[in-house]
Structure 1
Amino acid sequence: MGDTPFFFRMMRSAEEATRLSDVQLRYNSQCPPSLQIDSAFLYGFAYFRQVKDRSLRRGYFQKSVVLLTRYPFVNLFTKVMELVAPEFFDGDGSTAPLEAACADIDRWPEPVPGHSLALPVRGHTFQVRLPAQEDKLLPCAPLPRRPSRPAAASSSVVASVAEPELFTALQPLLAHAQLLWELVITAEPLVVMAPTPAVSSHVVQALASLVWPLRYCGDHRPFFTIHDTDFKELTQLGSNQAPPPVILGVTNPFFAKTLQHWPHILRLGESPPAARMTSSQLKNKTKKGGSLKTLDGKPGLYTQYKPFLQKDKSLEKRLWSGQQTERPQEVQSALLRRYLLELTQSFVLPLERYIATLMPLQRSISPYKAAPVMRPFDPDQFCERLADSGPQLTTGIKGDWVGLYRRFFRSANFSHWFNERHDDISRKLRALHLEALSDADVLSWVKGRPEVEVVDLVLRLRRKLAEAGADRLPVHATTLSKLRLHLHDVLRSLPEDVRAVLKPPS
């Protein structure tokens, strides 16, 4: 009963999925991976109202307003819906408020990571700052400060466009926070059975964010229903088929039976009226999964997963201490976020150090040879280094880190991280190769060379100039100017008839 805001994420059909625009591609290249647009999915932000109405046949008024967008700005669009939808419901039934809100949103500036934006909707302005990719390089996230009071009642600050309020979402699950982090970073299939769409979407959003600043690359559905187009695909798996890497948030009791064979199931009870942590929540143990009787029982985490890492109780002690001293919820959430961020960064740091060793030495870059490439990633070689440089040195957490990494290597999270880093390094190596070529004495090199080699150099210079623009390589404008001069000088060194053949088409 009453009003319920929630959100969902739905897959687009192959016909509906379209290529990203240049603006969206530029946004993706500048924002943290977890906020990138995925052309295969849309986010839906819903505001549902249900009230008793005896004049209606069913005895209830039920209606939803839904906003669809490609951008995963969960907190921002949830606040937009909380502003716009009640105006529509409380009005005379006209869609004018919704049309006016859409017109306002259409006039918003294009999102630019690292910039602050003022976004007006229906006379109210939301002030936001979009995170930039370099933000993730901070050693740890600062504790959030309360935003300063807006200058006017028609303005408000959205502290984060997407970061969920972790403490409230994970309060019943704090005993399993570290285990859930393992499940998410290795992209294990996980079902969240919640009492309401609001709880479901909030918890799934929180779970997908546990590995920030890494991007969770498994699928995640904050509110999955029997009407989703891939409902059969995800619920009618054969006995020998493992579930895909996805976090499913569901509320329909039908899923308790249909998904009982999934390896990890979170069953949530009704949310307490006041978000207060009890000592019993710190002592919750996992329950063995795979039995329908247990799924019909108490809330908890049902799994047969054996954690690779020993449990670190320091976080629980700090959160429990804060609860005793009535520490504000937002500070509790910040402590939880900082702990998970430092754990993720400690996990990624050995990977970054190892991948740096795969880079060729800069002195090995020759302007007259092909651009060098990164050496292959060797999981065995990486694992051999962990004893001396593993996460246990920065986190103090002991356990089978090698086993956890090997499981991570089989996940979509690793594939995405590695492909992103491989592309970044390849672009950097190509940029260094261009700089070496721009600084080379090209005219001296071409003297006495066979004509075919000089022609090949002309074609390579043209190709590299084109690639530098198309791939947005990190090269200075001065470097490109030098390359154009080299191209001009090399062309002039060739006979006139050859220059005519090499002349680009108009």
Structure 2
Amino acid sequence: MPWKPYTAFATLADCLWLLWESALCGEPLMIFSPDYPTKVAEAVLAVASLVSPVEYSGDFRPYFTIYDGDFEHYRQHVQSNGASSKAVVFGVTNPVMLQLLADFPISVLLQPRHREDASTQSTLPAPAASQEVLVESPTGDRLQRARRVPGSGRGYAQPELPQTGLGVLDADAELLQRIKASDCVDQDDTVLRYFYELTLAFLRPFLPHLEALTTGAAGGATFDVSSFLASLQPVGPFSQISRNDCQNLYSRFIRGVNFKPWLAKQVSTFPRRCEDASPADAVMAGGLPL
């Protein structure tokens, strides 16, 4: 099944970088819409697809309901203020599930496509002060991307447009202009390819450390997080952000649920990929070890 991130988040396209960051670092995310389950299910799968070739290793539920066997487990986990430590992406349509929203760092509220259903917006609770809430709000016959400002005391009926820089990376204006052009017919493929290459650029600084883990006298060594962060040489868009923000992003990824499975796969397959070429040549030929 082809994932369609642009189709799922067209009116929130400039927030895709924040969703990529959340999925990459294995941080909790809730996607809510009062519409049919297929809408939130496709959105959840689209988020997981953004971090390819890293495999999302958290618990992602395209359609999570109060009837799921572990709903009570998550309800209790949230009440103990532990939701922020869980790598989950939930797609929900039942407003009752929004009790979880208060402890989710990022929530995406996809509003109904039909104007007569817009009253659902008034039932949404105000977020906690530490939360980012991305809201689609009907404006006339179109949907407008909006952000509920934490702690402002205002309801979602009067959304405020978000500023740039919701995440570590700003949205790529050139990409947004290209995919929003009227003659662009492959928006989803374009977005998937962009984030695939963005993830490769993010992973590239790990290459020298993969070599140290799998070759020479250092074979069998463990991954040294402190050494990696101290010697970090980011490339691509990551070289344009502050070193502190960059190190923090890599640290979040390393602490997250996706890193260890990805690293284990690289260590087990890296020597075989380099048998007929130097590690650097293998990377240049294939983008980066997958």
Q: Same fold per TM (> 0.5)?
A: yes
Matched, 1:287 2:148: yes
Counterpart position of 2:235: 391
Say which SS state the counterpart of residue 38 (structure 2) adopts. helix
User: Are the aligned partners of 1:202 and 1:222 in contact in 2 as well (CA < 8 Å)?
Assistant: yes
Counterpart-to-counterpart distance in 2, 1:228 and 1:190 = 18
* 1:417–1:240 distance in 2 versus 1, CA, 3 Å: same
Counterpart position of 2:174: 314
Counterpart-to-counterpart distance in 1, 2:144 and 2:201 = 26
* 1:404–1:232 distance in 2 versus 1, CA, 3 Å: same
The residue identity in structure 2 corresponding to 1:391 is: V
Counterpart-to-counterpart distance in 1, 2:150 and 2:31 = 13
Matched, 1:175 2:14: yes
1:421, distance to aligned residue in structure 2 (A) = 2.2
Say which SS state the counterpart of residue 259 (structure 1) adopts. helix
Counterpart position of 2:226: 380
1:180, distance to aligned residue in structure 2 (A) = 1.0
Say which SS state the counterpart of residue 229 (structure 1) adopts. coil
The residue identity in structure 2 corresponding to 1:214 is: V
Counterpart-to-counterpart distance in 1, 2:160 and 2:97 = 16
* 1:297–1:229 distance in 2 versus 1, CA, 3 Å: farther
1:310, distance to aligned residue in structure 2 (A) = 3.8
Higher relative contact order (CA 8 A, sep 6+): 2
Counterpart position of 1:208: 48
The residue identity in structure 2 corresponding to 1:262 is: F
1:260, distance to aligned residue in structure 2 (A) = 2.7
TM-score, L = length of structure 2: 0.72
Counterpart position of 2:64: 224
User: Are the aligned partners of 2:23 and 2:48 in contact in 1 as well (CA < 8 Å)?
Assistant: yes
1:376, distance to aligned residue in structure 2 (A) = 1.6
Counterpart position of 1:356: 211
The residue identity in structure 2 corresponding to 1:175 is: D
1:336, distance to aligned residue in structure 2 (A) = 1.0
Counterpart-to-counterpart distance in 1, 2:223 and 2:199 = 20
Counterpart-to-counterpart distance in 1, 2:152 and 2:83 = 17
User: Are the aligned partners of 1:175 and 1:285 in contact in 2 as well (CA < 8 Å)?
Assistant: no
TM-score, L = length of structure 1: 0.43
1:313, distance to aligned residue in structure 2 (A) = 2.0
Counterpart position of 2:191: 336
Q: Which has the larger radius of gyration?
A: 1
The residue identity in structure 2 corresponding to 1:225 is: T
Counterpart-to-counterpart distance in 2, 1:211 and 1:258 = 25
Gaps of 5+ in 2: 116-138, 276-290
Counterpart position of 1:418: 263
Alignment map for 1:455-494 (pairs within 5 Å): none
Alignment map for 1:10-409 (pairs within 5 Å): 75=1, 163-194=2-33, 195-236=35-76, 237-243=78-84, 244-271=86-113, 284=145, 286-289=147-150, 294=155, 297=157, 307-320=167-180, 322-323=181-182, 326-328=183-185, 331-361=186-216, 373-386=219-232, 389-392=233-236, 397-399=240-242, 400-409=245-254
1:240, distance to aligned residue in structure 2 (A) = 3.3
Deviations 1:35-93 (A, max 9, x none): xxxxxxxxxxxxxxxxxxxxxxxxxxxxxxxxxxxxxxxx2xxxxxxxxxxxxxxxxxx
Counterpart-to-counterpart distance in 1, 2:96 and 2:152 = 15
User: Are the aligned partners of 1:164 and 1:205 in contact in 2 as well (CA < 8 Å)?
Assistant: yes
Say which SS state the counterpart of residue 266 (structure 1) adopts. strand
1:192, distance to aligned residue in structure 2 (A) = 0.4
User: Are the aligned partners of 1:192 and 1:247 in contact in 2 as well (CA < 8 Å)?
Assistant: yes
1:375, distance to aligned residue in structure 2 (A) = 1.7
Counterpart-to-counterpart distance in 2, 1:293 and 1:230 = 33
Say which SS state the counterpart of residue 260 (structure 1) adopts. helix
1:250, distance to aligned residue in structure 2 (A) = 0.3
Counterpart-to-counterpart distance in 2, 1:333 and 1:310 = 19
Deviations 1:479-505 (A, max 9, x none): xxxxxxxxxxxxxxxxxxxxxxxxxxx
Counterpart-to-counterpart distance in 1, 2:57 and 2:153 = 29
Counterpart-to-counterpart distance in 2, 1:250 and 1:290 = 24
User: Are the aligned partners of 2:29 and 2:88 in contact in 1 as well (CA < 8 Å)?
Assistant: yes
Say which SS state the counterpart of residue 228 (structure 1) adopts. coil
- Could you say which structure has the higher helix fraction? 2
User: Are the aligned partners of 2:5 and 2:191 in contact in 1 as well (CA < 8 Å)?
Assistant: yes
1:373, distance to aligned residue in structure 2 (A) = 3.6
Counterpart-to-counterpart distance in 1, 2:98 and 2:194 = 32
Counterpart-to-counterpart distance in 2, 1:327 and 1:248 = 30
User: Are the aligned partners of 1:223 and 1:248 in contact in 2 as well (CA < 8 Å)?
Assistant: yes
Aligned residue pairs: how many? 242
User: Are the aligned partners of 2:83 and 2:103 in contact in 1 as well (CA < 8 Å)?
Assistant: no
The residue identity in structure 2 corresponding to 1:342 is: E
User: Are the aligned partners of 2:32 and 2:93 in contact in 1 as well (CA < 8 Å)?
Assistant: yes
